[in-house]
Amino acid sequence: MKIISSIEELRDQLRGQLRTAFVPTMGNLHEGHLSLMRLARTHGDPVVASIFVNRLQFGPNEDFDKYPRTFQADIEKLEKEGVYVLFAPSEKDLYPEPQEYRVRPPDDLGNILEGEFRPGFFTGVTTIVLKLFSCVQPRVAVFGKKDYQQLMIVRNMARQFALPTEIIGAETFRADDGLALSSRNGYLSTDERAEAPALYRALNQVADDWRSGQRDIAKLEQTAMATLTQRGWQPDYISLRKRGDLQAPSPEDMARDEPLVVVAAAKLGKTRLIDNLEI
């Protein structure tokens, strides 16, 4: 595996490659990330991964400096997966001058749910993703469904900018007890890790109640949030939304069985976890 930090060297290395499959990450890799590498290989060749902790998507009170960085361990994992190139730029490599041009998602998608609780987050995400796409120029790029809103925003951006990159969504990789794998799971204490699967159980309860015919969306959401609160969580939202645009379903949408997803974000101790479940 070649480890490259400069954009120029990366472009030289990939020149002439027409089927590059790309997996952008912020490092601290776990089995969920590695499953993305395997999926990427089924859609293209060579597989290129990136590791870059993107300052633009962290808010002023978020964990940029504390975000876990495990570069040597990450290299070993990627080598075992047969990744061809690891693009690991420094901030100076990727932002040689202040990144004054930004890509801002539309408010009706970028400022709801995660965007409401993390202002500016998706502008940081779309800006770095577009820049990484410019550097790697992949035919396909793989993103996990765990970050459901992010996947939708990146997919819409690629379509509206007519980018020559197909966005592939990968199913959420879960531990045996249902917890979605995430780099931030490493922040959980032993007791918190034992409690963490309750978030996924809350999503399943909403889905089960919906499938049983309950249609009072506000009550379903409030009940799920109250259940977590009683268990010591601090939920930001548990919300039933349309899969297509993440807007709340109207009565007409419900009448025609519009495909839905229940999305959630909640803090357990000091760790904020997100998850979702398609219905």
User: What residues act catalytically?
Assistant: 33
114-124 as b/e: b if 16+ CB within 10 A: bbeebebbbbb
Contact 13, 2 (CB under 8 A): yes
In SS3 terms, 184-239 reads as HHHHCCHHHHHHCCHHHHHHHHHHHHHHCCCCCHHHHHHHHHHHHHHCCCEEEEEE
The set of residues, in sequence order, having a beta carbon less than 8 Å from that of 115 and lying 6+ positions away, is: 105, 109, 121, 122, 149
CB atoms within 10 A of CB 65: 9
